[in-house]
Structure 1
Amino acid sequence: MITSLLTSFLRGGSLAQRAAAVTLLAGPPALLAAALAARPVGFGCALVLVCLAERFLEQVRGRQLAVLRKARLGLGVRALLRHLLAVLLAVRAGCPTSVVVSAATLSAALPAAQSAHEVMARVLRERARTPVVVRDGEDRVPDPGADLGGACRRIDRAGLPALAGLTLAASTGTALPAYAGIALSALEAALCLARTARRVARSSPACRTTAMEDTNRWLAARAPTVVLYFSGSKRSGYQVDMWLRAVERLDEPAVVLLRERAVLERLAPTSLPVLCVPAAVDVMALDLSSVRVGLYVSNVGRNIHLLRVPTLKHAFVGHGDSDKAASSNPYAKVYDEVWVAGPAGRERYRSADVGVEDHRVVEIGRPQLAGVRCDAPGGPDALTTVLYAPTWEGWADGPGGIPLVVAGEAVVRRLLAMEPPVRVLYRPHPLTGTRSKRAAEAHRRVAALLAASDPDTAEPDRRSAHRVVTGPDAPDLYACFNEAHALVSDISSVVPDFLASGKPYAVVDVTAGVDATTFADVTAADAAPADTLRARHVTASAGYSVLPDGRGLEELVAAVRDPGADRLAGARRRLRTHLFGTAGGDPQDRFGAAVRRLAEQAERRNRRQEGRPSPAPAPGPAGHAPSDCTPLPGPDHRTSPTS
């Protein structure tokens, strides 16, 4: 545990950040040695360096401070340690007893003041927090009481005058600097507490009734027809992000309804109005009389708070089609319809036999993939770029273990060792490491491998440098598709989405042994059941197989560099049709038509309940939801270097 924390603390960031981290780590031993030796000059120098390093890491938001907080060594604990070492210096330097007692009293009083301030800050945040947060436009939502964290830091730093005074007193043998510093520190902490206490006294709780009335007037003015609904952790917000642009392009007015403030704070920029309503009772108080369609991107328990509204039609759109069990979840029975990309999605629910009736499954294509290109990036002479996009560890380890843990380092090492060189884009799943520490450690090792392989320059050429694609400002998955010549992944929705490009891909089989027969040229049509990865998973049937040790990657890269050696090009075209359907056209149009049809169904249902005549239903095949709109266009009409 300690070794892991030390490694995390010293790894990552710029050279200046690592130097500051080393300074911060070496500071306490240096202060202790100077205090025991009664060397005030050395103590003062070490103190200045430690404080400067700490301040620098705060300004650049260095990850080292997060590691210290995780180890229960936050700013307050570090400040207390410095005060105790300063008291030790005063004792060793022979300062008067009154100075030592005053300094020790301040050392105990400052943590108490910080605790009192944190309590008041919590009260202020709760009072400032409204039951509903509305974001209309792309402005980020301010955190009520965000400035209170700065006040906590000011209390911690209130002890700096006392530290300086004690150091000077130990150096000169005069008590006056110590008394002056202690007095200044006590005064600053008292003023900070007094200001916050005054804010608490003047604050009042936000009125829930007024907030809900204002929100419902806001909803009535916009009269949305569609709600894009999401509930989940802050790191799962990518699931709703992928649908924002498609919903923005609908003809019907739409609103995003979130349940967690942390997701709202990280939501991708969007022109859609956004509501964040954490409490179930407040969701039930919303005026949704204009809404006809609810779109759900994940299967979570809190969906029930919108599913209970009978005037809506509810459709599950998911956050990617894959061969995972999550893509045929029995939870889907609660929706009026389940929207999938194409025939493969329908067959997945049919074969899973989880109670989702076939006529409720509607093929709508993948509107997110409209911008995925088929052409090779950078022209014919560009450095071959391979995107490695492993999935996360899931809620439980699958057969063969966690793909990133089992094969991640081996895959990357083999790619880095290739000649001619290969450029690697590494894009881990956003949830990587949230459940498994082993997955988090594997991610760090892979990132370190790529960092060590890059040119040793301050600004490496982005076209040739390897890249770890993570963080809120990183390109999205589809932009990575357009920057890559090939994909290496495992069983996840990344694989079928990449098929829209028509470019070669490989799937890592973590369940495979080292038998060379794994690489037999077997297609989904003629493979013996369970003999190969291709036979077990539809999305792998047109991909090259890779063993956990990386063997098989050479064939993938050869297919990129020599289209004549790409033996699976035809299989990819056939699988793409199976996944996304056969018709051409804009997939956004197909998505929009599905929304309009479902809205019309909801309106007819509501009219029947109110006793009003209903318009004639839209024509559609008997026993199935009407499907008269176009699917994702196959890239066949575009030029592909690998086909």
Structure 2
Amino acid sequence: MPSAGLLSARKGQLYALLALLALYAAQLAGALLPNLPLFVVASAGGLALDLVVQQRQPRLLAVLGRARFDITARQLVRDLLLVVGVARLAEPSTAGEATVVAGLLLAYATHFSCQLVALLVRRDRALPVLTRNVDASQLGLSTAPPRILARQPGRRLLSFMVPATTGLLVTVVTGDMVWGVTGLAATVVAFAAGTGWLARWLLRGRRAPDERTTLDWLDAWLAAYRPTHAMYFSGGSSSAYQANMWLGTLAAVEGRPLIVLRERFMMQKIAATDVPIVCLPKVAHLMALEHSPLKIMIHPANSGKTSQVLRIPSLKHTFVNHGESDKLSSCNPYAKAYDEVWVAGPAARERYQLADIGVDDRDVVEVGRPQLAPIRPLTGPPSGPFLNVLYAPTWEGWTDDPGNTSIMLAGEHLVRALLADPTVRLVYKPHPMTGSVDPRAGEADARIRALIDAANAARAAEPGRDRPGPQAAADLARRTAELNELADAVFRPDADDVERMLVQALPEPGRAEAVGRAQEACEAAFWASVAEWEHQIVDGPLPGLYSCFNTTDLLISDVSSVVSDYLASEKPYAVANTSGLDEEAFRAAFPTVRAATILTPDAAGVPALLAAVRDPARDTLAEARTELKRHLLGPDEPPSLARFDAAVQALCARADARRARQPAGGEESLREDALREETRLRLGESVPGDAEESEDSVTA
């Protein structure tokens, strides 16, 4: 069954839709009967409700848009009914009726004129490149025009039509046409003034630089900055974590790092970093990297747009993935497209050899997992009154491989078994993409959350269940505010991509380190603010996964990179076997589970597992975990970051050697070829940002 939040949202959409339809019907009935109070209330209520829907129901707006009943159609119907009501209730003269109709036509004409100017402004401000942590002052960028004028046509139409609607309704009540004419005049003036104000952004002083000027500036900046290594990332908004986990490593490597993105929305999804970020949405403009000093590209994920950057032969490319696991997706045949594949340890090398997908063993480089440094090692058996258990199932994945996730077949059984132990405190952290492919996973997640909420309610009713005082909550609020202030740039509500370039030009030195310290303090404050007996559902950015590792004594998960990362602590862990294989075959098929306790879908082994965690004498897998850690993540010495840095320098040297062998100018045609392909692909495509900024998708 859908989650309570989803059900509530759907109910809200349904109620709003039914209310809109009811008000239209009431407005029509009030005009035809005629019934003055009904007509006035329905007309005013319909406009007010549509304004609320614009603010709070973006999904409903999208549905209405797909049904060809967008805001323009809705307002036009409302105004036509208003004309009928004026004619039936106010009984104006022929000249008065003509004035009302002419006034409405003029209002819509000025609205569409404003929309045309808004389209021109958005086209002008759709730069071919966006940057962050880069000084773009030479481009002479300007701040954004008011959002309601440039990017919210629906809200603009509704808001500016308020005077006309109000005046006509007063006319209906009083019979005096002066009110209606005055209201229509005010609406026309508002639209005309808005059009004139918006047109200022098409004047020379406020216009954005043209494409050629912007790309020349980018070429000059690349030549001056001289980046050596870059992380390339493309994906959906929920996949940003795959790039964020590599930010610290990217910045720590010797050289001049760069981040290259392809989606405009991703600019604000990348976490706090001092590394310069460049977004190049079009493949033709991506070729600006062709003759830059950049040497290598590091890829934490595959995407449809990865093939576009692989066409640049002056760069060397390596795939690092965003985690180490035994999933089939961790041996994607696409990996053979890269010059090298960097893995954590020998296990991944063996995985590629066994998969036989065309990746040459000579191109596999073991670099460890530099991100795992914050994970604290096992110091002994649990010492507190509660055994803290982390259940972190992975998501269902894009493929239909059996056993991708335990949440559907085993999740509820595991959670029930853990909640049945009065000395267990459960920390439940599902994958952020759970339910995005298979609705059954989302439904299972909702049921698990309900079980945890019920268990917390029962525990809270027990005597002696104290909670931290208000000071702890206040400290968490203060720490969170400090973190948000450091991590998030503060934009004006009207800011667009161009203005954000101005705001995020150059970070203060050490800002990323300050954000890291603030996050650690915020996570510590979070755990201090919750009772040690209270089960936790962690589905936001805080606390992070590694903080959950450090706070818990046992992990229960699936075959995923979470298992490999947790092994850095050498704490006990268990894996749910929902693959259909027997235990022996399961261990043989997935090396990451060789040091794990294997749990069946019915969770029958949970009590014995908990006993083994409490009593080290029963923990027969401790040595196996130490050995498997080295096999999965590589040796402790030299440190993983040092190995990663060495791999970067070696691949940069290969790129330098290749360039030295190539004749100058041999790759000049790449950008022209890409431009021709881009033209073919994008014929008829809308302005970048039109879809996401339309009145049907804008949020409050």
TM-score (norm 1): 0.75
Query: Which residue number in structure 2 is paired with residue 227 of structure 1?
Result: 230
Which of these residues, 380, 396, 413, is aligned with residue 399 of structure 2?
Answer: 396
Distance 1:178 1:310, change over 3 A: closer
AA aligned to 1:127 is D
Go from structure 1 to structure 2 and tell me whether the alpha carbon gap of 1:488 and 1:119 turns closer, same or farther (over 3 Å shift): farther
- Which residue is equivalent to 2:20? 28
For the residues of structure 1 that align with 2:656 and 2:195, how far apart are their CA atoms?
57
Question: What secondary structure, in the 3-state scheme, does the structure 1 residue paired with 2:297 have?
Answer: strand
Equivalent-residue separation in structure 2 for 1:102 and 1:398 (angstroms): 68
Aligned residue identity for 2:187? S
Q: Which moved more, 1:92-101 or 1:254-263?
A: 92-101
Q: Give the secondary-structure state (helix, strand or coil) at the position aligned to 1:291.
A: coil
Which residue of the partner structure matches residue 495 of structure 2? none
The one of 580, 594, 601 equivalent to 1:541 is: 594
Structure-2 residue corresponding to 1:130: 127
Alignment of 1:77-96 (within 5 A): 96=92
TM-score, normalised via structure 2 length: 0.70
Partner of 1:218: 221
Corresponding residue for 1:188?
Answer: 190
Cα deviation, residue 130, structure 1: 2.1
For 1:66, give the aligned amino acid: R
Bigger Cα displacement from structure 2, 195-204 vs 241-250:
195-204
**Matched-pair contact (CA < 8 Å) for 1:30–1:43:** no
**How far apart are the structure 2 equivalents of 1:558 and 1:107?**
77
Q: CA deviation at 1:342?
A: 0.4
- Contact 1:40/1:89 (CA < 8 Å) preserved in 2? no
CA distance in structure 2 between the aligned counterparts of 1:553 and 1:91, rounded to whole angstroms: 76
Corresponding residue SS for 2:575: strand
2:648 to 575, 590, 595: 595
Partner of residue 10, structure 1:
8
Instruction: Indicate yes or no: 2:631 matched with 1:578.
Output: yes
* SS class of match (1:371): coil
Inter-partner Cα distance in structure 2 for 1:550 and 1:6: 26
1:243-268 CA-to-partner distances (Å, cap 9, x unmatched) read 11101111211111222222223111
Query: How far has the Cα of 1:270 moved from its partner?
Result: 0.8
Amino acid at match of 1:320: G
| Greater displacement, 601-610 / 360-369 | 601-610
Give the aligned partner of residue 166 of structure 2: 164
In the superposition, relative to structure 1, how do residues 268 and 101 fare at CA in structure 2: closer, same or farther (>3 Å)? farther
> What number of residue pairs does the alignment pair up?
581
2:335 and 2:359 in contact (8 A); partners too = yes
Cα distance change on mapping 1:555 and 1:49 into 2, 3 Å: farther
- Matched residue SS, 2:151: helix
Q: What's the counterpart of residue 484 of structure 1?
A: 552
1:369-399 Cα offsets, whole Å, 9 max, x none, are 1111235899832644433333233223222
* Cα separation, 1, equivalents of 2:548 and 2:73: 43
- Contact 1:79–1:156 (Cα < 8 Å) also in 2: yes
Alpha-carbon distance change, 113 to 498 in structure 1, aligned in 2, over 3 angstroms: farther
1:427 corresponds, among 426, 430, 455, to 430
Q: Equivalent of 1:153, from 152, 155, 163?
A: 155
Distance 2:445 2:142 in 1: 32
- Residue 357 (structure 2) pairs with residue 354 (structure 1): yes
What displacement does 1:597 show? Answer: 2.5
Counterpart Cα distance in 1 of 2:580 and 2:142: 50
Query: 2:574, 2:598 within 8 Å by CA — same for their partners in 1?
Result: yes
Q: Following TM superposition, by how much is the alpha carbon of 1:115 offset from its aligned partner in structure 2, in angstroms?
A: 6.1
User: 1:510 & 1:493 partners in 2: Cα distance?
Assistant: 17
The verdict on how the C-alpha distance between 1:564 and 1:575 changes in structure 2, with shifts beyond 3 A counting, is: same
Once residues 470 and 103 of structure 1 are traced to their aligned partners in structure 2, the CA distance between those partners, rounded to angstroms, is: 54
The aligned runs of 1:376-525 (5 Å cut-off) are 380-381=383-384, 383-399=386-402, 403-429=406-432, 431-443=433-445, 446-447=448-449, 450=452, 461-463=529-531, 466-470=535-539, 473-512=541-580
Change (3 A) 1:481 1:115: farther
Relative contact order higher in (CA < 8 Å, ≥ 6 apart): 2
Relative to structure 1, the CA distance from residue 547 to residue 224 in structure 2 (aligned partners, 3 Å threshold; closer, same or farther) is: same
Deviates more, 1:600-609 or 1:121-130: 600-609
SS at match of 2:598: strand
How far apart, CA to CA, are the structure 1 residues paired with 2:4 and 2:636? 56
CA contact (8 A) 2:567 2:629 kept: yes
In the TM superposition, residue 68 of structure 1 has moved relative to its aligned partner by 4.3
User: Runs of 5+ in structure 2 lacking a partner?
Assistant: 461-466, 474-525, 665-700
Preserved contact between residue 346 and residue 631 of structure 2 (Cα < 8 Å) = yes
Q: 2:603 and 2:573 mapped to 1: Cα distance? A: 14
Q: Which residue of 1 aligns with 2:521?
A: none
Identity of aligned residues (%): 36
Match of 2:518 in 1: none
| Greater shift in the superposed pair: 342-351 or 86-95 | 86-95
The residue aligned with 1:65 is: 58
Which amino acid in structure 1 is aligned with residue 126 of structure 2? Answer: R
CA shift in 2, pair 1:25/1:485, >3 Å? farther
How much does 1:579 deviate? 0.5
Question: For residue 341 of structure 1, what is the aligned residue in structure 2?
Answer: 344
Alpha-carbon distance change, 341 to 7 in structure 1, aligned in 2, over 3 angstroms: closer
- DSSP 3-state at the match of 1:394: coil
Cα deviation, residue 132, structure 1: 1.9
Distance 1:197 1:209, change over 3 A: closer
The answer (yes or no) to whether the contact 1:129–1:206 under 8 Å persists in 2 is no
Residues 68-88 of structure 1, C-alpha deviations (whole Å, 9 max, x = no match): 434547666665676577668
- Structure 1: tracts of 5 or more residues without a match: 13-17, 612-643
Change (3 A) 1:22 1:359: closer
Q: Give deviations 1:269-304, integer Å, cap 9, x for gaps.
A: 111111112222222233655333322222335334
Distance 1:582 1:111 in 2: 70
- Kept in 2, the 8 Å contact 1:118–1:152? The answer is no
Give distance in 2, aligned partners of 1:495 and 1:364: 18
Preserved contact between residue 246 and residue 588 of structure 1 (Cα < 8 Å): yes
Query: Corresponding residue for 2:684?
Result: none
Q: Deviations over 1:354-379 (max 9, x none)?
A: 12122221111000111112358998
What corresponds to 1:257 in structure 2? Answer: 260
CA contact (8 A) 1:95 1:169 kept: no
> How far has the Cα of 1:320 moved from its partner?
1.1
Q: Distance in 2 between matches of 1:234 and 1:580?
A: 29
Provide the secondary structure at the position in 2 that maps to 1:251.
coil
Whole-Å separation in 2 of the counterparts to 1:82 and 1:539:
63
Render the CA deviation track for 1:468-515: whole Å, top value 9, x for unaligned. 4445x54443233223333332222222112112223232333339xx
CA–CA separation in structure 1 for the residues paired with 2:603 and 2:104: 57
The Cα shift of 1:232 comes to 2.5
